[in-house]
């Protein structure tokens, strides 16, 4: 069996485990994304909990199957909760995903918070090309929180982030999964150009990555979540070509994905 087919089989196993276990995922995400992230996780088979209060963070992280931290609209209290939860996750071996939204020179306070969070060794770092590039040390101009770079141009330099994490996931027209465990880069094709037109798709992808990480290792978790989104985006666009209708169809296909659809539509390359 080829390495590619082995990876696909492991993704299918992870999807099945997600359905069976319904993992509890603590999401500390941004105010724009809360509702959408929760709906995506529910549709995919996970159980989201949006616990971002510093007085509750430690206790809840301890009982969570995974933690997703997204620094999109940080408040003072929320960043306190992020640091508490990340530390707790590291201490209690709770897998956690960091999404460094808007990291860069312009938003220094949040970027310093991300630097602190990296000390707690996120299992997976997930972001768009601009965020990952800047985090890896290349100071580039971003346009708000949207990417101004192509993910293909970034994955080589992103390997430096493996000192902080087991796996780096870069989303874009194609997605790139950089695995420390397997020492490979996996390209995930698919998706749809309308996905960035919907608020919080990237945030939800980070949370879904955490949900998958509750049931499998970092590489397969990142790969499974990006394949899940890529297939749902591709199939949704076949049924709906306008943003509003596509959004509904996308959520439907997140829910309707199964092992047969994964096997039929998965499109990955090992670089």
Residue 198 pLDDT > 60, yes or no?
yes
| 200 labeled binding residue | yes
Task: Provide DSSP, 141-168.
Answer: --BTTB--S-GGGTHHHHGGGGGT-SEE
If DSSP states are collapsed to H, E and C, what string results for 112-148? Answer: HHHHHHHCCCCCEEEEEHHHHHHHCCCCCCCECCECC
Contact 167, 180 (CB under 8 A): yes
| 126 labeled binding residue | yes
| 171 labeled binding residue | yes
CATH number at residue 106: 3.40.1190.20
| Residue 216 DSSP code | S
Q: What is the pTM of this model?
A: 0.92
Q: What is the Cα 6 distance to its own chain's centre? A: 22
**Per-residue confidence at 51, pLDDT binned at 50, 70, 90?**
very high
Nearest CA among 143, 251, 187 for reference residue 179: 187
The range of the structural domain enclosing residue 69 comes to 3-270
Structural domain count of the chain: 1
pLDDT digits (tens, 9 = 90+) for 126-163: 998 888 888 987 433 444 444 455 555 677 788 889 99
pLDDT digits (tens, 9 = 90+) for 73-114: 999 999 999 999 999 999 999 999 999 998 888 898 999 999
| 86 labeled binding residue | no
Neighbouring residues of 192: CB distance < 8 A, sequence distance ≥ 6:
233, 234, 236, 237, 246, 250
What residue has token string 């096997």? 263
């Amino acid at each position: 069996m080829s390495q590619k087919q082995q990876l696909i089989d492991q993704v299918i196993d992870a999807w099945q485990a997600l359905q069976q276990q319904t993992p509890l995922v603590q999401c500390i995400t941004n105010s724009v994304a809360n509702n959408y992230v929760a709906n995506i996780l529910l549709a995919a088979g996970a159980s989201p909990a949006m616990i971002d209060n510093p007085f509750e963070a430690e206790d809840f992280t301890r009982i969570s199957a995974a933690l997703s931290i997204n620094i999109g609209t940080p408040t003072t209290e929320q960043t306190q909760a992020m640091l508490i939860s990340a530390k707790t996750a590291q201490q209690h071996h709770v897998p956690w995903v960091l999404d460094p939204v808007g990291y860069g020179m312009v938003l220094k306070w949040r970027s310093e918070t991300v630097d602190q969070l990296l000390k707690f060794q996120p299992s997976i770092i997930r972001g768009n090309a601009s965020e990952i590039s800047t985090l890896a040390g290349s100071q580039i101009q971003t346009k708000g929180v949207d990417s101004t770079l192509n993910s293909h141009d970034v994955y080589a330099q992103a390997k430096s982030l493996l000192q902080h994490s087991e796996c780096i996931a870069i989303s874009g027209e194609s997605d790139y999964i950089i695995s420390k465990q397997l020492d490979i880069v996996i390209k995930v094709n698919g998706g749809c150009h309308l996905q960035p037109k919907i608020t919080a798709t990237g945030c939800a992808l980070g949370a879904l990555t955490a949900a998958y990480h509750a049931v499998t290792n970092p590489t397969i978790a990142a790969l499974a979540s990006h394949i899940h989104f890529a297939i749902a985006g591709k199939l949704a666009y076949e049924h709906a070509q306008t943003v509003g209708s596509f959004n509904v169809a996308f959520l439907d296909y997140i829910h309707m994905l199964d092992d047969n659809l994964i096997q039929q539509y998965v499109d990955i390359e090992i670089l």
